[in-house]
Structure 1
Amino acid sequence: MKHLLGVSLTLVGFLTSHGLARVISKDQECVSAVFGIVGGLNFEGIGYGNYYLGICQNPLKVVSVYAISKTYCSSADLGPGFEYLNWACLQYAGAGLIPEADVAVNLTDEAISRYPILDQKDVIVPKNLTTPVLVTRDWFDLGFRTEDTWDYELRLHPTYGWAMYGFWGGILLIGMLRRLITHIIESRSSPLSTDPEDLGAADSREKPTAGTKSLAHMYSRIRKALTIPSGLPPYHSQLLFGCTIPTRIESLVIISCWILNFVLCCVNYRGFEGNLYWSAVSPQIWRYISDRAGIIAYANLPLMWMFSGRNNIFIWLTGWSFSTFNLFHRHIARIATLQAIIHSVGYTVFYFEIEGAEGYYLQWHDAWFYLGAVATIAMSILVFSSFSWFRRRIYDSFLLLHILLSVVLIVALFYHTSIFDGDYNPYLWPLVAIWSFDRFLRIVRVVYCNIHVQQRKKTLHRSNAAISYDQDANIIQIDINTHVKPGPGKHYYLYQPFRFTGWENHPLTLAYWSQSAVETSQTQQRDNTKDTPSKTADVSVVTPSEAGPLHTVIEGEYLLSFWIRPYDGWTRHLRDQCLKSQPLSKLPSVIKETILLEGPYGIAEPLWTFDEVLLIAGGSGITAMVPYILDHIARTNSSNKSSQTRIRGLTLIWTNPKEAFIRRIAQRELAAALKRDDVRYEFYCTDSAKVEVGSLPSPSIDDIPIGDAEKGATESGVLKGKEETDISESADGADEAGSLPITMCRPDIPAIIEKAAASATESGSRLAIMSCGPGKMSDAAREATYRAIRQQNNVEYFEESFGW
């Protein structure tokens, strides 16, 4: 008897997990408790052996439900309770509950008083009952406690899931407020004068209000304490045991997220002996933990997808980098995967405890069951393969695996929770929507960047790419024409669609750009060949030269240049292609390929709002710095006040292992900038074949020659320990006077920053420091800036890095 009752009551709990998981209100719990008790009893007649049909259409059972409910439930709970029971009957039995009016004759006080009262231990319980029954108060109380506990947990699980949205909503709100404060400070920092000659004058600058000063002071303190320092100095850009170390504020957010998820998965479980669904405490706790972990994991999924997308409105609203969003994405994914594993392990233990191994293995015949395991395995592989070691070594394979397994995951999750009749779809359809929206915008960006109509001739043009490889500099240059206006702080994704792996896309920082002008090809020909004059053309034709690989561009277009140091995969493929076509003279040759642009992405840092700017680049990190130098030049030449700059002095520190690359950029893309009075520079070469690294001291910023390099070298002796590199040949081949001093050692980054910060403090200037380069160099710059900021409030730090 006891065994049979236990089986029937276990069935009640089991079936609630297979669909009847609707969260009911408090006034429906009493009737639901009666429903749970009577559902485990066997009555003759309709629905014998059919759980839902019996309790909904068997007159004996239905009368028993009505009679017990009227005996123990308050009159206020009867209506809502029977309404819920009727819904369950229609949902799962295909027929409604027999109306009370149809059996009213059996529900009078006299009739109810004649029904036998059953106890849990009564020997009559397992028999096929032939009359309506009541149950003892103790049995009802136990049933009500069982139902109340189940409903409590059922309400709590999704509530804790919503807590994830509250947490991240608050974080994003803080980010948007920070963005707003930054915008206010920047808008009050622009110069009053529109005369470029007055930009350096103290009286030409707008005086900040008291409110702006307060905001700036508060913002500076936050950056000093939280934003700039690493969570585990000196590591940030550098990996520690293969792991990325976030900044202090990012670390606080991540740790808080982990703690919140852990705590919410561990609290408020109400297990008790004698529960009518599972009498032992252990299966109850395992069931509740498994459900909680699974639901919070589902709640984390839309957040995980939202933080992964490139086309994310929150990136613009917060001003955070894609690297920050991607960092949060990875940690949410790890949390959700751990919760999925707990969910799977917990249900395994649960089924083994209530049904044994045989019952557990029987579940594997159901698609919803084994696809839940598929989803957990897919998430685990996704997280494991996304660790830095894999991403950096097999990025292309990682990307393809990531996409395929994500599709498998979404499909598996839809099947896994299909038994709940769409209750979990609000967690899953946002994944499809977010992903589809992001992919759609990617396609739109690709089309917009690469195909455009020339208004004057009403003709359709597409972008073309010219690629060259400089062996001496070990740099690939890709030039692509587009009509989309470029700017500093931007990066693009490049596709080579006609490769076998044409879906691959590679993030690259925009290094340089120029705008085409209307040229007369026939006029050029006339000047060279002395032929007859010709009419004007609207296409400028340029050919490859030592100035770099260029190609035909249309009037008003921009020519974007990307500099890439080849490693493995796609970049090695490009290098090999160039080498195959390269002549024996080793002069860079140009190959033409179809390469598509997607972008631009990224947000420009407000360097133009500072008085002094120090740019620190290492290796190909110069690609992030040149656009800001170009932007500075453009702003100083602008008559539009909103496009002007406060910068009085800009210093570039660049370290590179290849001297040829330094020479190439200095005499081409940076040639005009290096002649300006407001631009200073230090170039360092760390080629181990030429110099023992660190063998020579780094000169101070004050020793850098400006304008007349030869005169500065003679008077200050800055060329001691340096190699003079002739930059007399500019991009167009014209002779220019001057020389380029290159120091054959690594720079002392902390000393340079310390001196620059002290100088800015002494002159009352605001100093912006930006770094981009190898992890060790960027971390040294970050730590040195942090030390400077602790002493002065006039220094800000920015770092150009791309995380994926």
Structure 2
Amino acid sequence: MKQLNFHLFFLLLVGCLSVIKADSAYKKYGPTLKALTSCQRQLSNTAVFCTTGKTRGNKCICTNPNALATAAGCLSYGHRNTTAIFKALFASCEAYNVTLTVDDMVEAYQNYTKYAIHASDIPNFNAKSPVHVPIRLNDTNIRLYMEAYDKYLGNYDNSLYYSVGVIGYWALVFLVAIIVNWSQVLFPGFFKILTGPISNKFRKHITMPAAFGKKKTTEHKVLKIFHFLMPSRFETIVIIGFLAVVIAVCSAQISYVEGDPVFDSKSSALLRYTADRTGIVATIIMPLLILFAGRNNFLQWLTKWNFATFITYHKWVARVDFTLVVVHAICFSASYGDYYTEVMKRKYMKWGYCCNCSRRNNYEVFLTIHIIFAALWIAGTWIHVQDLGYVWFVYPSAALWVLDRAVRIFRLICFGFPEAQITLLFNETLKVVVPKPKYWNSVPGGHAFIHFIRPTCFWQSHPFTFTNSVQEGDQIVLYCKVKGGITHGLNKYIASHPGRTARVRVGVEGPYGEPTNAKIYDTAVFIAGGNGIPGLYSEAVDMALRSKENNKQVIKLIWIIRENKSLLWFYEELLALSQTKIQCTVYVTKPKGDINNVEYNEVIKLSSRISQSENDSTEEVDKKEKSKYVHEKTEVEFEPSDSEANSNIGAIKSEFSHIEFREGRPTIEDIVDSEVKESNGSIAFVTCGHPMMVDEVRYSVIEQVDKSDGKRIEYFEQLQVWA
């Protein structure tokens, strides 16, 4: 399915781009157009040759012999009168139904050498009155115009080249990631022996840690107002490199020509150069912004980076792009000075400000109406640059944005919209059992976006990890922690139904993600916290099923929960572990009596009910065996006595005899240290759960990297935080 989506994405992209036609093609100035434009502007600033039509266009040069002669003289300076320049001039004259030849240019130059005179030699010369002879131009002025337009128009060309350099920077980063990450897949044995001091120090100080301190997945707060996530140190290096390239690109070859005849002042010239440079760079890097944020980003498959990594880069590209747009708008407006009001009446200026304003730096508002803002931004940019030739660089952005959503819809339609059975467990977790199509292959450790088709929330999609149902192979199970937003609304809705169970039609988009490379290591330790268990469970089980019977690979699953009743909502999956080679340990941080008869009975009945509804051959629960633990459910909630709670806990532990239970809060550092010492070879740690726990696991693994006595230690993180 992943390959299908990958190829579908590209087919749609190629098809979309093939029907696009620009109204204004991109214009590369180069020496030819710079020379023509500088001479044309110098002529119009020196004298008036035509009494009708535009005096600043090429029409006057094409139709007036004195203007053509003066232009021929201007182009002869510095031997710029090349065949390429003549062809460009001839092409512009054909737009006015005027056909010129090389012989015409030779004759025009002869007229210049014979008849041209300085403007100061014309009696009663008036710069606003037409002249009837060629004007001899001053060589110093010709050179000044040439240098000025080399700066002004050359800046457009340079902006394109330098912008491509920014894209090239990311291409280099991707190339390195592709080589390194795919090499680990293709040559696992080679990487397992990389345990020398250089390799260990590089991983310990570059690839594994957060940029600063321990926190990476845990939010940082500043003044209780600003919240942000710290990227990894490697991501930080990539981001710093990106910022350095952008600063260099926006600064290179921005300088002023003394006496510049194009702009009124040095400040106006520098402001305009900066405005053009930042605006072009912002437009050309826009496809990166869209691509990085896409769920169906083919670069995830190529680089084997997860969605969270690309969202980190997306945010920084967005910040840079937004800053460039703001600098572009301010500098462009300031460069016009007193003409600002008049310029703002133009359509492209209005839409330029429209797309700028749609990028408000308010995350909650941006999140709520993200699609509207993104569409406005792309549309505004499209119209803003349509007549400037840069619309070609907006097409990929629009195509990527539309196609990502087309693939999302395609995934939803292919999955269908089945009815899911949703059960509220202990007012804290929603268990969602969804029938899946036969073609739909679950990805161990993957996640899917689910739409609950209800009037109040059908348009929203939220990501959750999932496992295959242990009851039926054609079902997936998602466990959704009840928080605010959509899960809070579902909580109230499900709680109002008998048995706190209801059937709700859903749409599932996925699967996304992929399993880690933990499967290539001699020991794989999965450390989950709370609701982080489903993804790690599915990956560990898949790894166990793929292991050969004589395989010495050790697979461990460690689950840290707060209360004993959390065991009940993952009851069936924990029972199924008895049929695998997985060594499971459960830490209960607050093990006091907290499972009453109602709760325990509810889960046992739920498990039995699901089994009976899905498999008629399910055997009836042995009532004699359960009678000492299971009581009839009543409508009255009550607090269990210690003996009652202990009785139910004892029943659970007897059923989970294949699981080791430990009470109290574990020390992550001790767990990691112990597992490293016990491993007989390479070892990988995979974690998902509360951000603080995940950060603690990351830090503890890093501390062990260079203390492992030649063992390769690796760390994988399945928690993806992108909010």
User: Structure 1 length as normaliser, TM-score?
Assistant: 0.74
CA–CA distance in structure 1, aligned partners of residues 452 and 544 of structure 2: 33
Structure 1 residues 755, 742: CA separation in 2 closer, same or farther (over 3 Å shift)?
Answer: closer
Q: 1:532 — aligned with what?
A: none
Q: 2:3 — aligned with what?
A: none
CA–CA distance in structure 2, aligned partners of residues 166 and 117 of structure 1: 50
Q: State the Cα distance separating 1:280 from its structure 2 match.
A: 2.0
Structure 1 residues 150, 86: CA separation in 2 closer, same or farther (over 3 Å shift)?
Answer: farther
CA–CA distance in structure 2, aligned partners of residues 307 and 157 of structure 1: 23
Structure 1 residues 20, 728: CA separation in 2 closer, same or farther (over 3 Å shift)?
Answer: closer
Structure 1: unaligned runs, 5 residues or longer: 1-17, 189-207, 391-396, 451-461, 517-556, 583-587, 691-721
Alignment of 1:788-799 (within 5 A): 788-792=704-708, 793-799=711-717
Q: 1:82 — aligned with what?
A: 86
Q: 2:336 — aligned with what?
A: 351
**In the alignment, which of 701, 717, 720 is matched to residue 785 of structure 1?**
701
Q: 1:716 — aligned with what?
A: none
> How many equivalent residue pairs?
640
CA–CA distance in structure 1, aligned partners of residues 421 and 355 of structure 2: 44
Q: State the Cα distance separating 1:754 from its structure 2 match.
A: 1.4
**In the alignment, which of 37, 41, 63 is matched to residue 57 of structure 1?**
63
CA–CA distance in structure 2, aligned partners of residues 437 and 399 of structure 1: 20
Deviations 1:656-691 (A, max 9, x none): 2342112442x421113257665130322348998x
- 2:61 is paired with a residue whose SS is helix
Structure 1 residues 663, 349: CA separation in 2 closer, same or farther (over 3 Å shift)?
Answer: same
Alignment of 1:216-295 (within 5 A): 222-241=202-221, 242-295=227-280
Contact persistence 2:290–2:401 (CA under 8 A)? yes
CA–CA distance in structure 2, aligned partners of residues 740 and 215 of structure 1: 33
CA–CA distance in structure 2, aligned partners of residues 784 and 616 of structure 1: 12
**In the alignment, which of 483, 490, 499 is matched to residue 574 of structure 1?**
490
Contact persistence 2:355–2:377 (CA under 8 A)? yes
Q: 2:419 — aligned with what?
A: 464
Contact persistence 2:585–2:662 (CA under 8 A)? no
Contact persistence 2:561–2:586 (CA under 8 A)? no
Deviations 1:105-127 (A, max 9, x none): 65436x63332123799964343
User: Structure 2 length as normaliser, TM-score?
Assistant: 0.82
**In the alignment, which of 66, 69, 72 is matched to residue 75 of structure 2?**
69
**In the alignment, which of 657, 671, 674 is matched to residue 575 of structure 2?**
671
- 2:496 is paired with a residue whose SS is helix
Deviations 1:338-357 (A, max 9, x none): 000000010111011xxx1x
CA–CA distance in structure 2, aligned partners of residues 748 and 741 of structure 1: 16
Q: State the Cα distance separating 1:781 from its structure 2 match.
A: 0.7
Alignment of 1:590-609 (within 5 A): 590-609=501-520
The one-letter amino acid of 1:752's match is: I
Q: 2:314 — aligned with what?
A: 329
1:140 aligned onto 2:139:
no
CA–CA distance in structure 2, aligned partners of residues 243 and 302 of structure 1: 24
Deviations 1:352-372 (A, max 9, x none): 1xxx1xx21112221111111
1:47 aligned onto 2:31:
no
CA–CA distance in structure 2, aligned partners of residues 604 and 755 of structure 1: 25
1:449 aligned onto 2:415:
yes
Q: 1:191 — aligned with what?
A: none
- 2:470 is paired with a residue whose SS is strand
Q: 1:480 — aligned with what?
A: 434
CA–CA distance in structure 1, aligned partners of residues 70 and 581 of structure 2: 96
**In the alignment, which of 382, 385, 391 is matched to residue 362 of structure 2?**
385
Alignment of 1:581-730 (within 5 A): 581-582=497-498, 588-636=499-547, 647-648=553-554, 650-665=555-570, 667-673=571-577, 678-686=582-590, 726=649, 728=651
Alignment of 1:57-136 (within 5 A): 57-70=63-76, 72-74=77-79, 77-89=81-93, 94-96=96-98, 99=101, 101=103, 107-108=109-110, 112-118=113-119, 124-136=126-138
CA–CA distance in structure 1, aligned partners of residues 125 and 474 of structure 2: 90
The one-letter amino acid of 2:138's match is: T
Deviations 1:696-724 (A, max 9, x none): xxxxxxxxxxxxxxxxxxxxxxxxxx978
Alignment of 1:157-196 (within 5 A): 157-186=159-188, 188=189
Range with bigger deviation, 100-109 or 149-158: 100-109
CA–CA distance in structure 1, aligned partners of residues 184 and 492 of structure 2: 46
Deviations 1:176-195 (A, max 9, x none): 10122111233x4xxxxxxx
Contact persistence 1:565–1:571 (CA under 8 A)? yes
Higher relative contact order (CA 8 A, sep 6+): 2
1:428 aligned onto 2:398:
no
- 2:88 is paired with a residue whose SS is helix
The one-letter amino acid of 1:67's match is: G
The one-letter amino acid of 1:375's match is: C
CA–CA distance in structure 2, aligned partners of residues 120 and 432 of structure 1: 58
1:502 aligned onto 2:458:
yes
Contact persistence 2:290–2:400 (CA under 8 A)? yes
Q: Aligned-pair RMSD on alpha carbons?
A: 3.2
Contact persistence 1:237–1:244 (CA under 8 A)? yes
Q: 2:378 — aligned with what?
A: 410
Structure 1 residues 724, 174: CA separation in 2 closer, same or farther (over 3 Å shift)?
Answer: farther
The one-letter amino acid of 1:494's match is: I
Contact persistence 1:490–1:509 (CA under 8 A)? yes
**In the alignment, which of 750, 753, 758 is matched to residue 672 of structure 2?**
753
Q: State the Cα distance separating 1:742 from its structure 2 match.
A: 5.1
Contact persistence 1:29–1:81 (CA under 8 A)? no
CA–CA distance in structure 1, aligned partners of residues 464 and 68 of structure 2: 70
Range with bigger deviation, 563-572 or 26-35: 26-35
CA–CA distance in structure 1, aligned partners of residues 26 and 121 of structure 2: 25
Deviations 1:464-519 (A, max 9, x none): 211010126x1111000112121311100111244244221111111443363xxx
1:34 aligned onto 2:36:
no
Contact persistence 2:185–2:517 (CA under 8 A)? no
Structure 1 residues 448, 49: CA separation in 2 closer, same or farther (over 3 Å shift)?
Answer: closer
